[in-house]
Structure 1
């Protein structure tokens, strides 16, 4: 909880900027602006990776996650729906994580719930991502099998797939 409350409009505007920043990061594969929209002392709760404290812990994690399979095959992270809660300065949303086309137009994706707590001045002080890791594993494996079937499976994804089969 924060002692300062923000208007619905300010929270909506901040989240719109968040979405634009994330979309640009996905397009350019530059994750620094994405991390820079958090406070220096951000608390980032990622259920599979644990809790990170501060940009200095979040930055290397997001770069490693998004620049290796399956993260580097995810093309966007659009919000499917959002809830704005002024009383807690939070935006709660479901984010889609579609993977690139394996070669036949198939869309393979998994979603997560993100809870963002706003700090003001365009910065977020906390994010918690809630999801079922098995759904992401299943989506990545489905993508690999489809790409293998189509002859478009790249070496990194093939290596990941082989490692998961053990």
Structure 2
């Protein structure tokens, strides 16, 4: 795994290609190929996959079940080689009447250079995603339902960022107040007033999106986890 810090322009170009091939292009075999041979993909609801081949063997049949699913990005932040992003999953109304079937999730990507990615981690609460997908199937959705690529978030999950960001110390204090003292903070992506966090407790992984204003006040906090995950049964942290 490369220790080189790549330019923001290179990382951002690679991210747009990542979206173009997968989320927007639905070429899942090709998308799998832009992960490195030793990449680590941790999907906290569906499993851990190591290397481009394992990722392909998982994602291709997974997406074949819902070829109508499309995606849109609410926001993304880049710090060094890491990208934190909030992505919406959309399924079109099978009846055409305009009913909504959408859910978001949080992801982290680590860039490895040469257009490839060495790590992805998806953290979300399946209690927000599973009912949507089940309702879509009950409404008549199936593998023949056509995509609707115009779908976007019915409303953004997160409010606009405060105009005045906190100091580094203020942000650190706000983060310390959020992460349990006995947890391990593994990822901290800070973009002005927004902090994207991933931390492990003894039982499971949690994600948090935190907005902090210029006087250090936490003005917004979104926490999410898979409550079924239990490290005592199976350790998914690698």
Deviations 1:73-93 (A, max 9, x none): 41x22221001011xx10110
Determine the structure 2 residue equivalent to 1:136: 129
CA distance in 2, matches of 1:130, 1:124: 18
1:46 aligns with 2:40: no
Determine the structure 2 residue equivalent to 1:162: none
Give the TM-score normalised by the residue count of structure 2. Answer: 0.56
Partner of 1:138: helix, strand, or coil? helix
Judging changes above 3 Å, is the alpha-carbon distance between structure 1 residues 153 and 2 closer, same or farther for their aligned structure 2 residues? closer
1:3 aligns with 2:3: yes
Deviations 1:23-80 (A, max 9, x none): 111xxxx411110111121110011122111112111110121112xx3341x22221
Tell me which stretches of 4 or more aligned residues in structure 1 moved more than 3 Å.
152-156
Higher relative contact order (CA 8 A, sep 6+): 1
Determine the structure 1 residue equivalent to 2:67: 72
Q: CA RMSD in A?
A: 2.1
Contact 1:40 1:55 in 2 (8 A): yes
Deviations 1:123-143 (A, max 9, x none): 011000111111111111332
Partner of 1:72: helix, strand, or coil? coil
Runs of at least 5 residues in structure 1 that lack an aligned partner in the other structure:
157-166
Determine the structure 1 residue equivalent to 2:13: 13
Once the two structures are TM-superposed, the CA of residue 2 in structure 1 deviates from its matched residue by: 4.5
Runs of at least 5 residues in structure 2 that lack an aligned partner in the other structure:
145-238
Which has the larger strand fraction?
2
Which has the larger helix fraction?
1
Determine the structure 1 residue equivalent to 2:92: 100
Give the TM-score normalised by the residue count of structure 1. Answer: 0.78
Contact 1:19 1:78 in 2 (8 A): no
Once the two structures are TM-superposed, the CA of residue 102 in structure 1 deviates from its matched residue by: 1.9
Judging changes above 3 Å, is the alpha-carbon distance between structure 1 residues 153 and 84 closer, same or farther for their aligned structure 2 residues? closer
Equivalent pairs, count? 143
